[in-house]
Chains A and B, each alone.
Chain A
Amino acid sequence: MQSEALRLQGVSKTYTGARGSRIAALLPTDLAVREGEFVSLIGPSGCGKSTLLKVVAGLTPPTQGTITYGWDRASRPGQDIGFVFQDPVLLPWKNVLENARFPLEVFGVGREQADRTVLELLDAVGLGGFERALPRELSGGMRQRVSIVRALAYDPKLLLMDEPFGALDLLTRDLMSDILLGLWSRSPKTVVFVTHSVEEAVYLSDRLVVMSPRPGQVKEIMEVDLPRPRDPAVKDTDGFVHWMRRVKAALDAQPVAS
């Protein structure tokens, strides 16, 4: 049995709106993630997926509940969680290399070692030779790859990804999925991945968490037993089609009365 990387117990989030109104974004949620596991969250817009990731990353406190991490969070503050946002959030005055090594610089890692780590990762995502380019000189997919490298550069215990490919066209999305799978098989990491795309979720995940419309709640959790390593050919198999159908059915089903 693998050890646990993350456990949410009764975690909920209620935002206080502009005029003191209260917005329930996430109802009490239980979720456990195993170490090295790739978990996807899928659900309609506004169901609290981003909120869940932000709470896990400590960017906003939960209203209720507790989050337990599989490691001592205090030992490396800021360095234990990688976050890939929906937009790349690159610093526009820094080039690709400087952006990707920004966290390492902040954490005081030596320049030489930082460059070695980052250049290797940039190579792995097909950005070798673009080290000196500014973000505005890159395509959307390339920018998002820089952002993934930046999140992986400090070797976090947990990688959170919030619709990282949401703004990209379909062909680029597929390419990015394969790049991500490649990175993941190089060094299996615990990943929590938010997406709107059923295909992407089935293709990438070990486990798939389907959420109900707002206020968000976990509706169903599925263990995707497709064999690994996966490559695009798996998308034509009956198993894959079966999972696609199951996830779509779960998404369409009426929310459980509570």
Chain B
Amino acid sequence: MKRWGLVVHYVATLVVLTAVWQLYVSVGHVSSFLLPAPLPVLTALLASLRSGQLVSATAQTCLEILVGFGVGSVLGVALGALLSRSELLRTATGSLLLFFQTAPKIALAPLFILWFGLGLLSKLVLVVSLVFFPAMVATTVGISSVPGPFVDLANLLGLRPAQRFFRIQLPLALPDIFAGLKVGLVQAVIGAIVAEWMAGNAGLGYLMVYGDTTFDTPLLIAAILMTVLVSVVFTGLLVRVETRLLSWHAAYAGEGGSS
């Protein structure tokens, strides 16, 4: 019942927004080049869906986000775990990591394109580099905030490094890690779109540039709407995984527990 209420809520919001949009365009006599009315956009959306243009662009962008996010978060969590194990490793890599962490990765995008070409690889590298750091930092924070008594328990039972990580540290650090992954996911969407803007001939970012340069504003807006949708769906999926995995956690209790 609650779920249907939510759907009604979303649909109502959408209807109101569209109405305001239509009203603004017709009352304000806005040029259709600057802001086309809802109907032409919908037509463009349907046409580009039918032609397969939008579908393949969406698939391309989703692939970049999915693979880049997956690889970036696994690498970030793994390195975060290694760093929290070894003081030596921390001091040895500290300044190097800080350099790359603070460097604005978007500014490195042209360099990545130069190094890794115009194709998929350069986009993946950018997305991975954007997801990696929040995941790594969140993991080290999560592991270092494991309460002392749990560390004592692990030491008492003589857990091996892998047991210690998978059975104690990782589960206890999950709330922090997911906070980092959510930041990483937002970055991943931005990274994929920006990389497609800059180079290549596929993806939603490319479709935006194409719509822009061919004065096809409805197509541009269709691509933007699709990007928002992709972003919302991925975030929703991540939150679902989080609630599922953390159903034991007091802050998530009541949700996901019954499913």
Contact = CB atoms under 8 A, between A and B. Distances in A.
Contact of B156 (A78, A87, A91): A78
Given A91-B168, A91-B171, A106-B163, A57 B156 contact: yes
Contacts of A87: 149
Interface in B131-160: 147, 149-150, 152-153, 155-159
Contact of A59 (B155, B167, B253): B155
Contacts of A107: 157
The interface size bin for chain A is 20 to 34
Contact of B250 (A58, A106, A136): A136
Nearest to A150: B153
Contacts of A59: 152, 155-156
Interface string A4-22: 0000000000000000000
Contacts of A85: 149, 152-153
B152 A93 contact: no
Interface in B158-179: 158-159, 163, 167-168, 171
A93 B156 contact: no
Nearest to B154: A106
A89 B150 contact: yes
Given A59-B155, A85-B149, A106-B157, A136 B253 contact: yes
A81 interface: yes
Q: In terms of DSSP, what is the predominant structure of the interface of chain A?
A: loop
A134 interface: yes
A83 B152 contact: yes
A58 B155 CA distance: 9
A77 B155 CA distance: 11
A129 interface: no
A89 B150 CA distance: 6
The interface size bin for chain B is 10 to 19
Contacts of B253: 136
Interface in B167-221: 167-168, 171
Contact of B249 (A54, A92, A103): A92
B60 to A, nearest CB: 38
Interface in B52-70: none
B248 interface: yes
A134 B249 CA distance: 10
B149 A93 contact: no
Given A93-B248, A136-B250, A78 B152 contact: no
A139 to B, nearest CB: 15
6 contacts: A57-B156, A77-B158, A83-B153, A91-B167, A103-B157, A106-B163
Interface of B: 147, 149-150, 152-153, 155-159, 163, 167-168, 171, 248-250, 253
Interface of A: 54, 57-59, 77-78, 81, 83, 85, 87, 89, 91-93, 102-103, 106-107, 134, 136
Closest 3 CB pairs of A and B: A78-B158, A93-B248, A89-B149
